[in-house]
Amino acid sequence: MSLPVPASALLAVCAMIASLPAAWGQDLPRLRVSKDRRSLETAGGRPFLYLADTAWELFHRLSREEALHYLAKRKAQGFTAVQAVAVAELKGVDEANANGDLPFENRDFTKPAEKYWEHVDFIIGAANERGLYVGLLPTWGGWVQGAKGRQDEPLLTPQNARQFGEFLGRRYGRKAVIWILGGDRTAGGMEETWRALAAGIEKTAGSDSLMTFHPRGSET
C-alpha cells in the first residue's frame, strides 16, 4: 500500500535538487590561477597548459557541421582551448550567422535573439564535450562605448552592459569557459562599461569565474 507523501516533504526534496550545482562543462575540471599567479591549474592543483586556437568568427560564420569539423580537428591537433567572440567584430550585429539569425532584436544588447544564442550554446557544448575549453569574448571591443578604431559603434554602454553580462553568466556560467573581456581595444575611456559587464557576469556565473582582458596589440 502506498502512503501519501506530505507536501512539505516534496517541497524539501525539490529545494535540495534545486540547490545542487549543475554539471560544469561536461565534467571538465574548473580552472583557477595558481598561487604564484603565473599559471593556470585545475581546482585540484594540476597544472593546465592553455594552448588555444583563435577562431574569432566561430559562432558567426560557421554552421554546426563546420563547427564540429573544426573542433574535432583542433582536438586532434592537441589544443586545449579555442577562442571565439559571441558578438563578432565583422558586422556582428547586422549580418546573420550561418543559420540566418542575428544576435539581438533591433541591435539592442538587452534583447538577445534566442535562435542565435542557441547556436552559440551548441558550439560551446560541443567544444566542452570534446575536452576543449572556450575562451569566450562576450563582444568585440568595437561595439563598446568609448572605443577608438575604424567602424566602431557604441552599442554596449555602462547602462546596458551589466544586463548583458548577467544574461551571459546565466547562460554559460556552468560551461567550461574562460571569460575574455576587451576585444582588441584600448581600455582607456571604456572602464565603466567593462566593469559593468564583468559585474553582470560575476553576479550570475559566480565570483570564482575565471576572467581576463584582451587589450589592443602592444598594450597590457
Looking at per-residue pLDDT, the higher value among 104 and 7 belongs to 104
Residue carrying the nine cell digits 594540476: 46
Distances (CA, A) of 200 to 29, 42, 157, 164, 165: 23, 24, 13, 7, 4
Q: What tens digit of pLDDT does each residue of 52-111 get? A: 999 999 999 999 999 999 999 999 999 999 999 999 998 999 999 999 999 999 999 999
Give this prediction's pTM: 0.86
Structural domains in the chain, sorted by start: 7-213 (3.20.20.80)
